[in-house]
Chain A
Amino acid sequence: MTHETPAADQQPTPSVSNRDRTPTFWDRWGELLLALGVCAVGILVVIETQDIRVRQGVVVSPRIIPYIVGSGLILVSIWYAIEIIRSPRTGIAAGEDSEDVDPEAGTDWTVIGIIAVALVAYTLLIGRAGFVIASTVLFCISAFAMGSRRILRDAAIGLVLSATIYLLFDGWLGVRLPAGWLEVLE
């Protein structure tokens, strides 16, 4: 793995060296917020279900299953919240241990933020600038977010990768991809 810069200058969260570190705000409340979000989705499903038209004389109402799903979400979210409160988790998600993930590091929100920007840029660019340009931009920004600092190299790799994909899929495999600003080249 090549990390061109030392870790310290791009890690805003203090590095903690212990799995049993003191729980942060997110450790304590994040999961409850998630349960709340699940509950909100359930309520949304129940409300939206009332917009489904039921014609006179149908044997089975088309609202039955959506109502089951919506109320199921609400019930499960309550159960989930109870379980979180009764047995709070320690440390961050264990999941499966993975060599690429440092379970002791806190969440690096800067990285998430920059990647989110890259995805927004991609969504805005793909229809106008085309697949190749949008993908190259996404590739560069996201590699930068994850700590790569060889911007020219990344741009070259991103360009070659997305141009190859474009030629392969659009030209050969019949998957239509937007050419965008590079249309003049064809």
Chain B
Amino acid sequence: MDSLGNLIDGFSVALTPENLLWALVGVFLGTFVGVLPGIGPALTVALLLPVTYSLDPVPAFIMFAGIYYGGMYGGSTTSILLNTPGESASIITALEGNKMARRGRGAAALATAAIGSFVAGTIATVGLTFAAPVMADIAIDYFQSPEYLALIVLAFTTVATLLGSSMVRGLVSLFLGLAIGLVGIDGITGQPRFTFGNQHLLGGIDVVTVAVGLFAVGETFWVASHLRRGTSNIEHISGSKWMTREDWSRSWTAWLRGAFIGFPIGSLPAGGAEIPTFLSYSVEKRLSKHPEEFGKGAIEGVAGPEAANNASAAGVLVPLLTLGLPTSATAAIMLAAFQRYNLNPGPQLFDNNPELVWGLIASLYIGNLMLLVLNLPLVGMWVKLLSIPRPLLYSGILVFAGLGTWAQSQSVTGLVVLYAIGALGYLMRRFDIPVGPAVVAVILGPMAEIHFRRAMQISQGDYSVFYTRPVATTIFAIAAIAFVAPTIIRLMNARRDRVPPAPSA
């Protein structure tokens, strides 16, 4: 029961008036930016990163916890009222929630999303509290460089094959990210590579620059060049009925199921938030007494996936904190934030910086509660943000993108890289290539290389180190299955479709 004691210590850090204030600021800013159309949680965290630059690590990460959860809340409001999912995990919320809002049930949809996020977020944070130390212990006992490499390869395959419209598009994104990650100083020999003689590239291309370029600049180009002429349909919530007794009884089981689907899947070192939300949606559809309402605005279809989404967001923190392994774009940016403070997430983080880790976890509980209190009454204010004229909104996003990159790199080279990546982001958006794998690859690629070379140095150049250690071999095997399985399933389905049951003349 070490976790409880540590958690209490964490609360004693997080509950000081100053840190409570930072949590509140984080929650507020996170929701504010997250509500803005076109800005998903990953971009929210990336754009707000400069705000924490001058803070000490503990308050910075307490604020970060608030930004992270706040961005998720804000995103669901946008999805429900504007049908603009900021990222793929919110597609389901946009699907059912927006339909509900169109039927005049916007207030109920927002309420079930907010309360469901709170319930599931709290359950998942409890899960994180107890799972993270166990995972850290396992990592200390069993994981060395070969195992870490195997885990990273597993994350690569699942992130690339599970996201996006086709596997090859995910792989294109992944390898582009890996190529961007090569730029800079070689982690082991210390020589510059792929810098083309530019000294500003010696430090490498930062993952925040990549995320802001792909998500903010690329998205702005995309929206601007296809801007809908005329007015957007913002659904109104004034006058719509709040949650009825029936809504409550239909929602609460969906919240719980969502939480128990979202947290375990999110905490796998393969993760991502898309699978749990889609899974939760199909489970709710199957279990519902009103399956005919699905696709037309069923409240379970909002409650379950929203809960799953938030629970997996807490789950993603398990591999991030205990193994240093980000499995979503948002987590990749958070890892970059740790690295700014020379902190390396991983099993040692729990021993070396208990104040920070447990303060962060305690702040997740506090932030979650703040969000519920803040959002139920304030939602009317957030809604106003949805009607910001798009030319002004996206111009503002470009200003903030420039600010973030300048704050990071202090150089024109940084801006040129940002805009080049933005152009790439536009093309990827245009041709349906997911950007998540690229963001994850930028930060995991160099880590994979270091683990590979470290493992090879220890084994004196013997490749058997990767297939004779049981844990590493097992993880590599799972990665191989994850890579091959989708293709085999597709081929089997294609064969079945090709054989018609009874050829008609």
Residues of A that sit less than 8 Å from B by CB: 1-3, 7, 11, 30-31, 34-35, 38, 41-42, 45, 48-49, 51-53, 55, 58-60, 62, 64-66, 69-70, 72-73, 76-77, 79-80, 83, 89, 92-103, 105, 107-109, 111-112, 115, 118-119, 122-123, 126-127, 131, 134-135, 138-140, 142-148, 154, 157-158, 161-162, 165, 169, 173-177
Contacts and interface: CB of A to CB of B under 8 A. Distances in A.
Interface size class of B (residues with CB under 8 A): 35 or more
Contact of A98 (B83, B402, B416): B83
A94 to B, nearest CB: 7
B64 interface: no
Contacts of A96: 85, 88, 91, 94
Which one of A79, A108, A119 has the greatest number of beta carbons of chain B within 10 Å? A119
A69 B222 CA distance: 28
B389 interface: yes
A66 B171 contact: no
B403 A169 contact: yes
Interface of B: 37-38, 50-51, 53-54, 82-85, 88, 91, 94, 165-166, 168-169, 171-172, 175-176, 178-179, 182, 186, 188-189, 191, 193-194, 217, 220-233, 387, 389-392, 394-396, 398-400, 402-403, 406-407, 410, 412, 415-416, 419, 422, 426-427, 429-432, 445, 448-449, 452-453, 456-457, 460-461
A23 B427 CA distance: 17
Contacts, number: 246
27 contacts: A1-B228, A30-B431, A34-B427, A35-B172, A53-B189, A62-B186, A62-B191, A62-B453, A64-B452, A66-B193, A69-B178, A76-B175, A94-B165, A95-B429, A95-B432, A96-B94, A97-B83, A101-B223, A101-B228, A107-B225, A112-B426, A115-B220, A122-B415, A123-B416, A142-B394, A165-B403, A176-B410
Given A80-B168, A94-B432, A146-B395, A122 B402 contact: yes
Nearest to B160: A76
B399 A162 contact: yes
Contacts of B416: 123
Contacts of B390: 1, 100, 146
